[in-house]
Chains A and B, each alone.
Chain A
Amino acid sequence: MSELTSLTLKAALEGLRAKQFSSVEITRALIAAVEAARPLNAFVLETPEKALEMAAASDARIASGDAGALEGAPLGIKDLFCTEGVRSTAASKILGNFIPEYESTVTANLFGDGAVMLGKLNLDEFAMGSSNETSAFGNVINPWKSASGGNRALTPGGSSGGSAAAVAADLCLGATATDTGGSIRQPAAFTGTVGIKPTYGRCSRWGIVAFASSLDQAGPIAKTVEDAAILLTSMAGHDPKDSTSLDVETPDWAPFVGKSVKGLRIGVPKEYRVDGMPAEIEKLWQDGIDWLKEAGAEIVEVSLPHTKYALPAYYIVAPAEASSNLARYDGMRYGLRAEGGNLTEIYENTRAEGFGQEVKRRILIGTYVLSAGYYDAYYLKAQKVRRRIADDFDQAWQTCDALLTPTAPSAAFALGERNADPIAMYLNDVFTVTTNLAGLPSISVPAGLDSGGLPLGLQVIGRALDEGTVFSVAGALEKAAGFRAKAERWW
Chain B
Amino acid sequence: MAIDAATVRKVARLARIAEPEERIEPLVQELNGILQWIEQLAEVDTDGVEPLTSVVHATLPLRDDVVTDGGDAARVLSNAPKSTDGFYVVPKVVE
Chain A positions within 8 Å of B, measured between CB atoms, are 98-99, 101, 200-201, 214, 240, 243-244, 246-247, 306, 308-309, 312-313, 315-316, 323, 327, 330-337, 340, 342-349, 351-352, 355, 360-361, 363-365, 367-368, 371, 374, 377-378, 380-388, 390, 421-423, 437-439, 464
The answer to whether A323 and B15 touch across the interface, beta carbons within 8 angstroms, is yes
The answer to whether A351 and B44 touch across the interface, beta carbons within 8 angstroms, is no
Instruction: Kindly state the separation between the CA atoms of A382 and B53 in the bound complex, as whole angstroms.
Output: 10
Shortest Cβ gap from A28 to chain B (Å): 32
Q: Is B6 an interface residue (CB 8 A)?
A: no
8 A-B residue contacts at CB 8 Å? A306-B44, A315-B38, A333-B80, A335-B81, A336-B81, A348-B13, A368-B31, A385-B44
Chain B positions within 8 Å of A, measured between CB atoms, are 1, 3, 7-8, 11-20, 27, 30-31, 33-35, 37-38, 40-44, 46, 49-58, 60-61, 63, 72, 75-76, 78-82, 88, 90-93
* Given known A240-B61, A368-B3, A383-B52, contact A101–B41 (CB-CB < 8 A): no
Instruction: Kindly state the separation between the CA atoms of A410 and B74 in the bound complex, as whole angstroms.
Output: 50
Which residues of B lie under 8 Å from residue A380 when comparing CB positions? 51
Complex: chain A residue closest to B19, CB-CB: A352
Besides A101-B72, A351-B15, A438-B55, 11 other A-B contacts (C-beta < 8 A) = A200-B55, A214-B54, A323-B15, A363-B15, A364-B15, A365-B31, A365-B34, A368-B35, A381-B42, A387-B49, A387-B50
Complex: chain A residue closest to B94, CB-CB: A343
Shortest Cβ gap from A42 to chain B (Å): 26
The answer to whether A371 and B14 touch across the interface, beta carbons within 8 angstroms, is yes
Which residues of B lie under 8 Å from residue A306 when comparing CB positions? 44
Instruction: Kindly state the separation between the CA atoms of A344 and B16 in the bound complex, as whole angstroms.
Output: 7
The answer to whether A387 and B15 touch across the interface, beta carbons within 8 angstroms, is no
Shortest Cβ gap from B28 to chain A (Å): 11
8 Å CB contact of A364 from B31, B40, B53, B78? B31
